[in-house]
Structure 1
Amino acid sequence: MKKSLCCLVLLLSGCAQHHESAGPKPLSPLTKESGGLMPPSQQYLHFTKAELHFKVEPQQQAIEGEAKLTFSAKAPLQTLSVDLDPSFAISAITFNGQMLAASAWHNPEGRLFITLPKEVAKGARFTLGIHYAGKPHVAKHAPWDGGFVWAKTAEGEPWIATAVQGEGCDLFWPCIDHPMGEPDVAELFITVPAPLVAPSNGAFLGMEEKDGWRTYHWQVAHPNTYAIALNIGPYEKLEATYHSRFGNSFPMDYWYLKGQKAQAEQLFAEFPRQLDFFEQTIGPYPFGNEKMGVVHTPHKGMEHQTINAYGNGYAQNIYGYDDLLQHELAHEWFGNQLTNTDWDDFWLHEGFGTYMQPLYAQYLRGDMAYDASLYRVRGAIKNKRPLVSGHSQTEEGVYDEKRGPGQDIYVKGAFMLHSLRSYLGDKGFFTAVRELVYGTKDPRPGHFAPRYGTSKEFIAIVSRLAGEDMQWFFDAYLYQAPLPKLVANRDGNTLHLSWQGTKSAFLMPVEVALDGKVYKVAMAGGKGSLKVGKAEHILLDPHQKLLRDEPHFAAFQAWEQLKREKARNAKK
């Protein structure tokens, strides 16, 4: 998550985000945005393999890259494009090993257009070789903005990482910068000065050392487009084998900085319990044929497939676990196993990923912890724009609160899932989630693969399992910004309830506590009533199951904003 739990942790803790200062030159508009409508020059490509060679030079803060990209054609092709930051100098491009003339390609804005020497037939496979070099874009404050992080450890050794979710993979390798641009497999060769270590995605295939350089070889299947990551530093490693409740086993690895072994061991001890929670709650760890990996990075964190970035300072929350570690691990299911087909459905990554923290608090500490965790989530919902617009979006278009729902993809998405769970019951809810993630309600290791999903698909799954058309629920929470409003009027012995402010009749039943005793009111057609007699204290939704308009949350947010503004003015 670009921003993933990193931003969520700051949001819920009240911490201020980093103040941006002067930094690297601006990216081209095309490179700055990830996703959106895939151009015709990419729509007819099936990305079979990315073989990526990187030589990283810490002193120059530069890289040399060679990308061998294998595609198969979905239709006859004469021209195509891949995405690459135009600040890189391209020295050569080959087609099936044949050198192309410089006139056969151009990259003025970040979309590298290539004219092939001959038409490629439908179904044919071919390989492009792209040789490039330069200084990659530097992140001012990763992961809130994307790029390379060139840092040093306390001992002055190089400590380097990439984090590119918002701007995309084209910040450092030629790719199809779109959620649906995943290669079937990526093979990485990362060359760094010895004795530095370069953990990366997938399975480790070996390391060679020659002339003062080390080359690390990794291979990963179906990597998310922004999830391929470089991590370089003087790392040491903790390792163990996780034995899954599903009968398989796989490596757990944590790369940490020298001198921090005690903190690393404490964090590493959380790995198996968090894994078991996810496997028990959702299903098998999706990448058991590779590893569950985490690496200490000089930025807050990011869900890089099988090599999650962690930079949370070995924090513990009130529930007794590191919530950033848990949130990033959640993305192995929601983001890496299940990937949104378009950034317009970004809540599928972040809403589910965020809901996993209250669920884990409940798993560890019980219902009070679940309720407390969720109440903080509820207090952060802003409802400025719908979670889903219904048209293709870029990542920044969704994440930027001036254009899209912003942080609501985390918090509103999560609380919506809480309300859905209360309506469906645990069995129906978790079965629906499992089908969305794996494409089956009974996933078994080795019998599923990463997949794409949409909001519409989830709505269809929920409707089928609920035995009714659930569009009314999602219309209210995904496709409009304001929350449903519950209006209550007492007329003598009767309490009249009605849902207002939704496109269609909102059918969520309402629990009402009468002097402490709870009753459930059906809301056929969006209306219902309850005999209340002489009850002195009437409380709507006493267990906070309903995501609804409640003015005290907006009032609290306004007060907090005013407090922040006063603090800023006092510093001037």
Structure 2
Amino acid sequence: MRVSILALAIAACFAVPAAAQTEAADATQSPPLAPRTADSGLPLTAAQEATGLPYLDLRLKVDPDTKTISGDARYTIDALAPLDTFEVDLDPRFTVTSVTVDGAAAQWEADAGRLLIPLGKALSTGDSAKVAIQWNGSPYVAKRPPWEGGFMWDKTEDGSPWIATAIQMNGCDVFWPCIDYPTKEIARLDSAITVPEGLVAAGNGTFAGSETNDGWTTWKWSARSPNTYAVALNIGPYDVYEDTYQSRFGNSIPLYFWYLPGNGEQAKTLMEEMKTYLDFFEDMIGPYPFGDEKVGLVETPHLGMEHQTINAYGAKFKPTPLGYDTLAQHEFSHEWFANQLTNSQPNDMWLHEGLGTYMQPLFQQWRDGEAAYLAAIVSQRASLINKSPVVPAEPISTSFYLDEDAGWGRDIYSKGSQIAHTLRGLIGDEAFFSSIRRLVYGRVDPRPGNFVPQFADTNDFQRIASEQSGEDLGWFFDAYLRQAALPTLIEDRDGNKLSLTWQTEGGTPFPMPIEVQVGDKTMVADMSSGSTVIDLGSDDAHYVIDPMAKVLRYSPYIARWQGWMVEQQEKAKKAKENAKTAD
């Protein structure tokens, strides 16, 4: 999603912008979302499972004065199995004014956030139909964008409308009728966004022209296979910076940055950085997945989001001590890990966020060397919570992300990154990066034009990594992803003998080898049985376990610090409550 925590020291760089905080206050005027609309990734119905989505012509009119929208969604649907009903999700605050099936007026039933549209006939597998839905109303206003998302009706410093959407947690049904599930991408989305003349609507995919009539301008875009939550509105009095990147794969990629007037030099500087990110990703992972469309950035009143080919950027060009824009780089990572590779169910969101977060330390290694990489890796470890498995056993939806007690919505970032780091150290660079390429592109030799969007889960990644490494890695994925607690290494020294034993939460096998430095020599301890005994050579020999921080494991030092932090927070909370009572 929006940002990775590389170090506690730079966490302040990622605070919610003032504009977003203002919008949160306005959100109190927006009635709460219906339970179904508030959640994304709920189980598909049989009819939704059976529905293919080859095409959508999506037309939206956005009125800043009334803070309303009206829309016309013209679907072509395919029957993946016998089908007699088209079921889509849509926020019930909207009024549906018309539905047609193959051009004829049709009935529909609104059911607490879902529209059920009888097709008037039974489609056999492979048959198609055209369904059009018209709706209008006042969309939900985001409470705490982008975390708790929706619409943002903001204004620039000169009072011009500045509008954006961010809907990862709530889903696409917050403002358009869709099947709100990761695998239900639309093969081709043509969008037409109508806004008051003088405003620009920067959209997903390739620009297809604009036209102005009676004080309104319609901006047209065409995108292939957009991730459903990555379809976004970005509207403002934008200027645009244009550039081109010559890919190492031989293709030329257009670059665009829609920025607010006055920010041209900063936009140009950041776009130069984007070229460096492109070179890094194409070198380490593979070709930019949407090179036939564009690399796009747009300034937004919220912090950021990985909207496909039009990444939202709201970090206000703040410098960081790392020497690059960590927000822009993280969101850009999601073009690979979210938009090209999409998790096939919400439980596997770490494939987006964890692998995307790992791209920041990896970028520092690529650009600055080993010391920068290890510093970034070590700095992530203090933020891990380890209360919930990274991949929960039971089906979840995106609402689990916001559960502070569970902590899952935080661990899928840095813990996911740490797991990637440890896996790389275990199986080596060749097997690791070939596994990542297969996961992202469906093949180890991606080139522009020879791959399609991928859907995958953790089991797929386990299978791929096992095949590429030639090892059964079930124990690794079980210990790190399907259990909450980190593996613990028990140390017991008796004179010159050091006993090491792994313990896991579920008592599952964990044959993770680990380095032990004794004096100026480093050995690899064979832990294939889960334990070993090492001869240190003398009773007073000094040793260091895992001197290069290759293995993610439980740290009593971090646990103690985290406990202390909780105590300080509780004390501060009580002091605030007492002060309030005294007043």
Q: TM-score, with normalisation over the residues of structure 1?
A: 0.96
How many angstroms does 1:6 deviate by? Answer: 6.9
Aligned to 2:11: 13
Task: Name the CA distance, whole Å, in 2 between partners of 1:366 and 1:23.
Answer: 50
- 2:244 corresponds, among 241, 244, 247, to 241
- 1:517 corresponds, among 518, 521, 529, to 521
After superposing the two structures, state which structure 1 stretch, 561-570 or 490-499, moved more.
Answer: 561-570
2:437/2:443 contact within 8 Å kept: yes
Task: Name the CA distance, whole Å, in 2 between partners of 1:362 and 1:97.
Answer: 57
- 2:40 corresponds, among 25, 34, 37, to 34
Instruction: Note if 1:547 corresponds to 2:552.
Output: yes
For these two proteins, the number of residue pairs brought into alignment is 567
Counterpart secondary structure, 1:524: coil
Task: Name the CA distance, whole Å, in 2 between partners of 1:566 and 1:317.
Answer: 31
Aligned to 1:558: 563
- 1:71 corresponds, among 67, 70, 77, to 77
How many angstroms does 1:12 deviate by? Answer: 6.3
- 2:380 corresponds, among 366, 377, 380, to 377
One-letter amino acid matched to 2:231: I
Task: Name the CA distance, whole Å, in 2 between partners of 1:224 and 1:12.
Answer: 30
After superposing the two structures, state which structure 1 stretch, 518-527 or 150-159, moved more.
Answer: 518-527
2:8/2:379 contact within 8 Å kept: no
The alpha-carbon distance between structure 1 residues 508 and 323, as it changes in their structure 2 partners (threshold 3 A), is same
Superposition pairs of residues 22-171 of structure 1, within 5 angstroms: 22-100=28-106, 104-171=107-174
Task: Name the CA distance, whole Å, in 1 between partners of 2:182 and 2:104.
Answer: 30
The alpha-carbon distance between structure 1 residues 299 and 9, as it changes in their structure 2 partners (threshold 3 A), is farther
Task: Name the CA distance, whole Å, in 2 between partners of 1:60 and 1:314.
Answer: 31
1:9/1:324 contact within 8 Å kept: no
Aligned to 1:466: 469
Task: Name the CA distance, whole Å, in 1 between partners of 2:49 and 2:215.
Answer: 42
After superposing the two structures, state which structure 1 stretch, 416-425 or 533-542, moved more.
Answer: 533-542
2:7/2:380 contact within 8 Å kept: no
Task: Name the CA distance, whole Å, in 2 between partners of 1:214 and 1:11.
Answer: 45
The alpha-carbon distance between structure 1 residues 569 and 6, as it changes in their structure 2 partners (threshold 3 A), is farther
The alpha-carbon distance between structure 1 residues 358 and 93, as it changes in their structure 2 partners (threshold 3 A), is same
Task: Name the CA distance, whole Å, in 1 between partners of 2:314 and 2:471.
Answer: 44
Task: Name the CA distance, whole Å, in 1 between partners of 2:196 and 2:15.
Answer: 36
Instruction: Note if 1:364 corresponds to 2:362.
Output: no
Task: Name the CA distance, whole Å, in 2 between partners of 1:274 and 1:559.
Answer: 38
After superposition, give the CA deviation of every residue in 1:266-324 in whole Å (9 maximum; x if it has no partner): 21110100000000010000001100101000000000000000001102222200000
After superposing the two structures, state which structure 1 stretch, 485-494 or 184-193, moved more.
Answer: 485-494
Instruction: Note if 1:350 corresponds to 2:371.
Output: no
One-letter amino acid matched to 1:87: R
After superposition, give the CA deviation of every residue in 1:490-520 in whole Å (9 maximum; x if it has no partner): 2232211110125422111111111243221
After superposing the two structures, state which structure 1 stretch, 21-30 or 162-171, moved more.
Answer: 21-30
Task: Name the CA distance, whole Å, in 2 between partners of 1:265 and 1:130.
Answer: 41
How many angstroms does 1:395 deviate by? Answer: 1.5
Task: Name the CA distance, whole Å, in 2 between partners of 1:365 and 1:299.
Answer: 30
One-letter amino acid matched to 2:157: A
After superposition, give the CA deviation of every residue in 1:318-367 in whole Å (9 maximum; x if it has no partner): 22000000000000000000000000101000000000011111122211
Counterpart secondary structure, 1:379: helix
Give unmatched runs, 5+ long, in structure 1: none
1:198/1:230 contact within 8 Å kept: yes
1:138/1:149 contact within 8 Å kept: yes
1:282/1:434 contact within 8 Å kept: yes
1:47/1:184 contact within 8 Å kept: yes
Task: Name the CA distance, whole Å, in 2 between partners of 1:45 and 1:383.
Answer: 38
After superposition, give the CA deviation of every residue in 1:228-247 in whole Å (9 maximum; x if it has no partner): 11100000011111100011
Superposition pairs of residues 287-326 of structure 1, within 5 angstroms: 287-326=290-329
The alpha-carbon distance between structure 1 residues 349 and 52, as it changes in their structure 2 partners (threshold 3 A), is same
2:10/2:320 contact within 8 Å kept: no
After superposition, give the CA deviation of every residue in 1:532-558 in whole Å (9 maximum; x if it has no partner): 012432211111111111111122222
1:377/1:411 contact within 8 Å kept: yes
Aligned to 1:456: 459
Counterpart secondary structure, 1:151: strand
Counterpart secondary structure, 1:262: helix
2:381/2:414 contact within 8 Å kept: yes
1:495/1:529 contact within 8 Å kept: yes
RMSD: 1.8
One-letter amino acid matched to 2:466: S
1:237/1:253 contact within 8 Å kept: yes
1:49/1:184 contact within 8 Å kept: yes
After superposition, give the CA deviation of every residue in 1:87-127 in whole Å (9 maximum; x if it has no partner): 00011000011111xxx212131011112222223211111
After superposing the two structures, state which structure 1 stretch, 304-313 or 394-403, moved more.
Answer: 394-403
How many angstroms does 1:69 deviate by? Answer: 1.2
After superposing the two structures, state which structure 1 stretch, 262-271 or 206-215, moved more.
Answer: 262-271
After superposing the two structures, state which structure 1 stretch, 522-531 or 163-172, moved more.
Answer: 522-531
How many angstroms does 1:403 deviate by? Answer: 4.9
How many angstroms does 1:522 deviate by? Answer: 1.0
1:514/1:538 contact within 8 Å kept: yes
How many angstroms does 1:437 deviate by? Answer: 0.5
Aligned to 1:492: 495
How many angstroms does 1:397 deviate by? Answer: 2.1
Counterpart secondary structure, 1:35: coil
Task: Name the CA distance, whole Å, in 1 between partners of 2:290 and 2:212.
Answer: 28
Give unmatched runs, 5+ long, in structure 2: none
What percent of counterpart residues are identical?
Answer: 47
One-letter amino acid matched to 1:521: A
The alpha-carbon distance between structure 1 residues 486 and 12, as it changes in their structure 2 partners (threshold 3 A), is farther
The alpha-carbon distance between structure 1 residues 165 and 10, as it changes in their structure 2 partners (threshold 3 A), is farther
How many angstroms does 1:76 deviate by? Answer: 2.3
How many angstroms does 1:404 deviate by? Answer: 6.2
How many angstroms does 1:212 deviate by? Answer: 1.0
The alpha-carbon distance between structure 1 residues 53 and 7, as it changes in their structure 2 partners (threshold 3 A), is farther
Aligned to 2:188: 185
One-letter amino acid matched to 1:46: G
Task: Name the CA distance, whole Å, in 1 between partners of 2:278 and 2:324.
Answer: 13
One-letter amino acid matched to 2:235: I
After superposition, give the CA deviation of every residue in 1:135-169 in whole Å (9 maximum; x if it has no partner): 01000221011110000000000000010000000
The alpha-carbon distance between structure 1 residues 10 and 27, as it changes in their structure 2 partners (threshold 3 A), is farther
One-letter amino acid matched to 2:201: A
Task: Name the CA distance, whole Å, in 2 between partners of 1:522 and 1:12.
Answer: 38
2:6/2:376 contact within 8 Å kept: no
Task: Name the CA distance, whole Å, in 2 between partners of 1:298 and 1:200.
Answer: 16
